[in-house]
Structure 1
């Protein structure tokens, strides 16, 4: 009964929509308390510790940040990390968009099979999938032999940035497909048929109708893949080489091999700030695009 009362209270006369009594607000906060405590314990506290060590280990000051920002090698690693994440996002988008559209256009049985194929990687260990790519991409592996059969025997995929991109793309592809499918499944396909009946070609209908409506899924999935790619360690460590190391590998080296916690904290801090800056720019661009579309819609109706 308490649940029914809570659901129907906003519809009662005299009760403002979205408002709740103080006791109800405290009850909602109590429900969120375990999640808040977990978030603080596993994210906020370790992040705060690394932030403190950035400015105190081994000596108080900006020594670690000065070292990291002034080292040309570390700057190249940082740029390589972001470019690799961008490439992985692009590959996942090129592969995931047609796949998500096929899930929407397919019948119930085929859609179930396609969904199962997307979800299977979630049920498999990350280490198992990465070692499977090690076997497939190794110098005498099946992919290398197939490439040698068509005259590309000089192309080495293991211990290279290309192999890292292949492995990370396969692992992160479901994180782009599912948001895309969730958005595409809500698009009214009759809009495409309507544009076709008005004389638009299929390619025009796609770019003028379907693609704009699927942009929220593209944005959400791309952000998930891009941010996840920035912190990958296992896959780049097993498929890549020291000359193609990413920031996560450099942080591991500083902590585990050199015991330089302050420098590792500086790397993490710069990576975090750069990520937030990119997200801020993207969110600003999305808001401006949404406002532009709203203005165009208002102008069209006026």
Structure 2
């Protein structure tokens, strides 16, 4: 009879691996049922029509200008929102990281305060603020700065403003987490070697904070691509994004195949965004695991 040549340590390791797989089984089952299977169904619907195989839903991206114009507008808005969140969020995270612990907690609490209300409530709040008879136009006209109310809503401006407000925490938090890990001795060493505050910031602090910045940019950009409520309420039908195109295909035309193909293309674009980010900085640094 052939005896096992495995050592006790190898047997113990294999036993631990089986136990880990057993513990992970419920989580893996949830992922398969709630994520993998719906994605497979989505891909299957995108290539089916009248019970047969077809690529007509994907051909519309080449023949129907509404499709690719909507994608271009969505990506342009996502780029604008991402840029503005970096401009607004970086100073906030920089100040919060440099403050004492109790004050930095207060700053982060103010950043996270919008999370206490739903996206729908915040979108309606911006609708009230930006409308022709809203608070902003009332203040501007009452102070004599403008003669007639500005058109701040039912256009791209209102959509971008509300989206920036909603997604700003997703930029501040990764930046803050990365900045807190930067040793203060490095900036002090740069200053002691004769570097000006601006030079030390540009050559030492800013490069070390790039992983947090890129992580926040990826989060904000990808989340903006899928926004629906904000452009629907504040766009007034003039700001048309991909999520609205998916909704119209289902609600108005009952075209599940067309809606599925749009979703698949958007998902591929999201994977490309992640791939591009990983080429700039490895995901281990972006996710803070290295």
Taking structure 1 as the reference length, the TM-score comes to: 0.84
- The answer to whether the aligner puts 1:143 opposite 2:136 as a matched pair is yes
Evaluate the alpha carbon distance shift between residue 50 and residue 166 of structure 1 in structure 2; reply closer, same or farther with a 3 A threshold: same
Whether 2:55 is the aligned partner of 1:69: answer no
Q: Paired residue for 2:96?
A: 103
> Judging changes above 3 Å, is the alpha-carbon distance between structure 1 residues 199 and 128 closer, same or farther for their aligned structure 2 residues?
same
Corresponding position of 1:6: none
What does residue range 25-174 of structure 1 map to in structure 2 within 5 Å?
25-58=17-50, 59-148=52-141, 149-151=144-146, 153=148, 155-174=150-169
Alignment of 1:230-249 (within 5 A): 230-249=225-244
2:186 is the counterpart of 1:194: no
CA distance in 1, matches of 2:244, 2:87: 27
* CA distance, structure 1, for counterparts of residue 191 and residue 207 of structure 2: 16
Greater alpha carbon shift after TM alignment, 202-211 vs 21-30: 21-30
Unaligned runs of 5+ in 2: 1-7, 286-290
1:265 corresponds to? 260
Shift of 1:104: 1.0
Which SS does the other structure have where 1:214 is aligned? helix
Deviates more, 1:275-284 or 1:225-234: 275-284
1:205 and 2:197 are equivalent in the alignment: no
Structure 2 residue matching 1:243: 3-state secondary structure: coil
User: Which residue does the alignment assign to 2:288?
Assistant: none
In the aligned structure 2, how far is the partner of 1:46 from the partner of 1:257?
22
Q: Is the 8 A contact 1:96 1:173 kept in 2?
A: yes
1:279 aligns with 2:262: no
- List, as ranges, runs of 4+ consecutive aligned residues in structure 1 with deviation greater than 3 Å: 146-149, 152-155
Higher mean displacement: 248-257 or 36-45: 36-45
Q: CA deviation at 1:215?
A: 0.6
1:150-169: per-residue Cα shift (whole Å, max 9, x none)? 22746312111111111111
Distance in 2, matches of 1:37 and 1:172, equals: 31
Structure 1 unaligned regions, length at least 5 = 1-13, 291-302
Whole-angstrom distance in 2 between the partners of 1:192 and 1:266? 50
State the aligned residue count.
273
Corresponding residue of 2:5:
none
1:252 deviation in Å? 0.4
Q: Aligned equivalents of 1:125 and 1:182: distance in 2?
A: 25
For 1:231 and 1:152, the matched residues in 2 are separated by 37
